[in-house]
Structure 1
């Protein structure tokens, strides 16, 4: 290509479709954008930020035989056409639970009291796939199987009173005896 331009073969004064030489005019600088967290914090009231987010929990079946893994799909979605961010109580942004046991663990865990910001772009949907093995963690090295019966699988964004703010969801599955 360089030979063509060096030979002046493309330069014609009477043709309007010949390529032009670049002007030395400066190109426009990139538009600066406001971070979603700042925009959300400054312009959107906290109660409206909570209303913008939805949480859903789904399982493919409502009943599983004992010893079978239960796939869980958690979907977090911003329903508004602008970015939304919420502050979480701990570094864990969201979590799932089985009958109130976080991540199917009955061993208490201690998380630092550090706030984090969970940001969603406009209309963004975040999906997470988890698998409950039908076991509960009862110590650092021991797991026990769940008895046959109904169990509530849920998920929530880690804010104070997530259930009251609509940032939690649950579904029920039944573990059938073998």
Structure 2
């Protein structure tokens, strides 16, 4: 495109409606370079303020489910501040969910997450929603699952950070599985 404009191959006329206008030689005003808000959040916001700014909640459509049915749940994370907030996570897995303390309803270690840290970023006022389902099964090996017994189970979710419960970055709800 630049060659066409420099070669004057186009007919230019300011008065004719469907021809391009004369090209201005001065450069237009350029926007300011963007600010690295992740680094700014880490340097300016104290940890206690970051922890209070982001809320985590877990919800289910009902409290009681028949045995053998899938239990849907929603995890909502919201940043209440008008500035971006960034959390350094333990691994590239930014958040986790669990059933009665068993991560992803797994009673065995299938694979280790990488040791490198990750970053979970919330834009100003951002709300993140995640939908997951628990099929009332617990994984006991790479290829074996056991069904859940009737009773009460706690579904929890939180950011993958150290001391997420104490920092207020974790929530849980209780559901009841009945024989119907």
Q: What are the residue-to-residue correspondences of 1:67-82 with 2, within 5 Å?
A: 67-82=68-83
Partner residue in 2 for 1:46: 47
- In the alignment, which of 145, 150, 153 is matched to residue 151 of structure 1? 153
Root-mean-square deviation (CA), in Å? 2.0
Q: What are the residue-to-residue correspondences of 1:161-172 with 2, within 5 Å?
A: 161-172=163-174
Q: Distance in 2 between matches of 1:49 and 1:111?
A: 25
Partner residue in 1 for 2:31: 30
Q: Distance in 1 between matches of 2:14 and 2:79?
A: 57
Would you say how many aligned residue pairs link Structure 1 and Structure 2?
168
Query: How far 1:100 sits from its partner (Å)?
Result: 0.4
Q: Distance in 2 between matches of 1:116 and 1:59?
A: 28
TM-score by length of 2: 0.86
Conserved? CA contact 2:85–2:121, under 8 Å: yes
Query: How far 1:101 sits from its partner (Å)?
Result: 0.6
Q: Distance in 2 between matches of 1:21 and 1:175?
A: 74
Q: Distance in 1 between matches of 2:97 and 2:87?
A: 18
Q: Deviations over 1:114-141 (max 9, x none)?
A: 1111111000111000000010001110
Conserved? CA contact 1:92–1:158, under 8 Å: yes
Conserved? CA contact 1:36–1:119, under 8 Å: no
Query: How far 1:46 sits from its partner (Å)?
Result: 1.7
Q: Which consecutive residues of structure 2, in runs of 5 or more, have no partner in the other structure?
A: 1-9
Q: Distance in 1 between matches of 2:37 and 2:16?
A: 50
Query: How far 1:24 sits from its partner (Å)?
Result: 2.4
Q: Distance in 2 between matches of 1:7 and 1:43?
A: 51
Partner residue in 2 for 1:17: none
Partner residue in 2 for 1:103: 104
Q: Which stretch has the larger CA shift, 98-107 or 20-29? A: 20-29
- In the alignment, which of 114, 128, 131 is matched to residue 129 of structure 1? 131
